[in-house]
Amino acid sequence: MKETGMADSKLLKGKRMMDARTVAEVGFRALMKGQTIVIPGLLNAILAKSVRFVPRNLVTKIVRNMQEDK
């Protein structure tokens, strides 16, 4: 995540991320199945879907906190 400038963010610090090849393969398989949206990883899917149930201003604060440098 050095390339994105987020390597030191709370969101990514100490986390193991999917490599680009894996993300591309997951996306390609979904495309071949006709899926328009794919969210790889159980935790990612839960987090992405949970924002529907939380007030937007709270989501904004949480995301900002996660993306700031430690």
Query: Domain-by-domain residue ranges, the chain?
Result: 2-67
Q: Quote the pTM value.
A: 0.56
49-67 pLDDT, tens digit per residue, is 888 899 999 989 888 887 7
- CA–CA distances in Å: residue 41 to residues 21, 22, 46: 15, 11, 9
CA-to-CA distance for 45 and 12, rounded, in angstroms? 17
| Contact (CB, 8 A) for 11 and 66 | yes
15-24 pLDDT, tens digit per residue, is 677 788 988 9
Element (H, E) at 62: helix 56-67
